[in-house]
Amino acid sequence: MTLPTANLHPAALHSPAAERNKHAILAALLPLLPVQGIALEVASGSGQHIAHFSAQMPGWNWLGSDPTPEGLASIAAWRPHGAAPVRVDVLQADWALPPSHQTLDALYCANMLHISPWQTCAALMQGAARHLAATGLLLVYGPFLQSDVDTAPSNLAFDADLRERNPAWGLRHLDEVAAQAKACQLSLRDAIKMPANNLLLVFGRMAPASASTPPKETL
């Protein structure tokens, strides 16, 4: 169980959104994942998600990460008895993961793509391609634009606010995210509807193309 904020180290950051959505996300993750495995959370932020997931998934070895000192300190504060978080900047070609997490059964990333430059999407997919096990999954949570679904007014307003704050930010189009994944030999297996007009995207490695059967010789 996540400790009350009042009992945490002063370095612990608190995200009301993470506190609200952690239960729904965990409920969506559990049917997708085996009972044990190795997982990395990219851009853990406050650390509330990884603290909740690791407490509820005892068979999993979760590792948190963030590019900022504040984020790393907060992850450690939320999860004082867990593995020390590592600094990961997705735009770097080498994430410098420890040996225990070089091969991942799950790579989880929430609410990063819309508050970072578009290049982070390709970088995330490339990192997943480097580190996912053959049956591993990349799980990406957040709001997305969809061609065949009307965008909720709240998401339109959120997108406009993000782009006003930083022109490099904004909600990403699901088709474009899937295209970046395909370029890294990852396929979109599911887009699970989540509360508050969010999605949980599930990516896995593409099946290798089967060798074509040579034509039979005719007599």
Tell me the torsion sign for CA atoms 213, 205, 129, 189: positive
For residues 112-128, give the mean pLDDT: 98
- pLDDT tens for 41-81 read 999 999 999 999 999 999 999 999 999 999 999 999 999 99
pLDDT, residue 209, reads 62
3-class SS of residue 62: strand
- pLDDT tens for 9-31 read 789 999 999 999 999 999 999 99
Q: How far is CA 176 from CA 44, 95, 142, 181, 205, in A?
A: 23, 24, 15, 9, 17
199 and 144 Cβ atoms separated by less than 8 Å: yes
- pLDDT tens for 164-199 read 999 999 999 999 999 999 999 999 999 999 999 999
Pairing of strands 186-194, 198-205: antiparallel
Q: Whole-angstrom Cα distance, residue 36 to residue 34? A: 6
Tell me the two tokens of residue 14: 């608190």
